[in-house]
A and B are shown apart, each in its own frame.
Chain A
Amino acid sequence: MFDTALTANDFIFLAKGAGMTIFVTAISVFFGTILGIVFGVIRYQLGPFWSAPLMFVLDIFRSIPLLIQLVLTYAFLGTVLRLGMSGLTVACIVLTLYTSAYCAEIVRGGIEAVPLTLRRAARSLGMTWAQDMRSIVLPLATRVALPSWIGLALGVMKDSALVYVVQVTELLKSTQILITRLQEPLLLLMICGAFYFVISFPVARFGGYLEKRWSND
């Protein structure tokens, strides 16, 4: 069953695809998280009414298939505005916004989980808003938000499989290229699936561990 025409070269090719998956994920999660924190704090500070326009836009990213977001953005930036961006740039932009849309909700939930009385106490001790946010809210909200955030980051990694539509050769796409040439779909798909699993599973377990540890104190 495992006599295969797969060569060392092909493994390097797959590894390049895997590298691309990790690269796109890292960029999007990094910038998406920063944006998400900003959006989440804005959402919390402004209240539901004034932040409604922002929330509406972010909600769109959660209500439309990522595949369509990618195709549309690519077509819009390229076809309509003629910006001539590479598919990789478009993929990173869309995935960053996509991440930030989910991250904003997580951040807001985290902030809301910090008891208001605690924050009032901090403020009455003379802390400024910034000090309160940094020394009181940040550590406590992180505990609530981190497990969900890990879930989000892993979700983005799995969703990055869709950036093939904008000509980015990530892991799943490189697998398909090899399948086309070698015609060994099952073996190659197993390798591909195993790769995702190997990265995702330990991190997910770690997230579960944190959640358990932090919720019992």
Chain B
Amino acid sequence: MSNVLRKEAAVTDRQAIRNPDTADAADAAQESAYVLEAREVTKHFTVRGALGRTSVVRAVEQATVRLKPGQILALVGESGSGKTTLARMLARFHEPTEGEIVLRGEPVSGSRRARRAYHSEVQLIFQDPFGSLNPLHRVRYNLERALRLHQPQLDRAGRERRITELLERVSLTPTDEFAAKFPHELSGGQRQRVVIARALAVEPKVLLGDEPISMLDVSIRLEMLNLLQRLRTEDGLALLYITHDIASARYLCDEIAVMYAGQMVESGPKEEVIAAPQHPYTKLLIESSPDPERGVDDREALFAGADELGEPPSLIDPPTGCRFHPRCPFAMPECREQAPPRTELGNGHWAMCWLHTKGRAGELAGTTHAEATAARRRTLEGAS
């Protein structure tokens, strides 16, 4: 822990030196405890149906994300939960409908110049390494272009030096050989490393990785996770790791935030969230994830009651109250009527669930989603 703090302090110092116009260095240190924040951001998309009817997709509602230097936050949830939209707001591809994006304590503005300055600090890595490199140009050109745009002070020789450094950084050696290759000559893992090298070319403070390993072969995913881990420890990068793979999130990150149907439902230190989830949806997600260690001994129990787990709701007409209530085996009348308040559980762990305000949170630990669903069905049948 102290190690992390020291790292943070070191990074903050560096930032203070780089920003001489900040009047008070101590102030800057305070501000940059978080390098990038999304403060209660909401994104609604208007879509037009085939018959000309418009409807509003409530993709993200009131989501808050805070990234610290040298820290990795995993954002997990099913597809359609809003994690990519949130990342795109953080990358400024989408303007939030409400709320603001804050870079080192300063809300960001929309001007062109501000945008470029922003992208020299915050870089996004996409899922598909095949689609994100220009296929007509060699690796050298792909990297050089980022350097020309974001490091105009470098001359030709300087850029060439940087390219070598970057390729070494992502272990693509011999660098000369890799710089001269076209993207199609590289494997998926090598391509994704070029994408990461290009993101690093601008010396960002924050990397946003939208499922950066999900299209890679299993045997090379670990290399990529280890590389991201190294960038965090050695360069003090802040990383938002978006994934649906909870085991890889646990391997890489410090904290986990869980999204469901456009809302953040729980966030906290990874081991706490995984070992003792405090929201019924987190619980369902973790119980559904494959775990080789849990293994092969009792398959019956592993899949018991998993026949009907339900599906996420439409974001055009989301459920009232807590959006998880139609699938939740613990749902109470208030869950249908009112969105749950956020309950702080200490140690930076919080959850948005009525169970906590009603003193029923203990029920989460003693059962599984499937068992709780079956028990609820029995009660309902008994009552009718």
Q: Do A and B come from one complex?
A: no
> Footprint of A on B, CB under 8 Å?
none
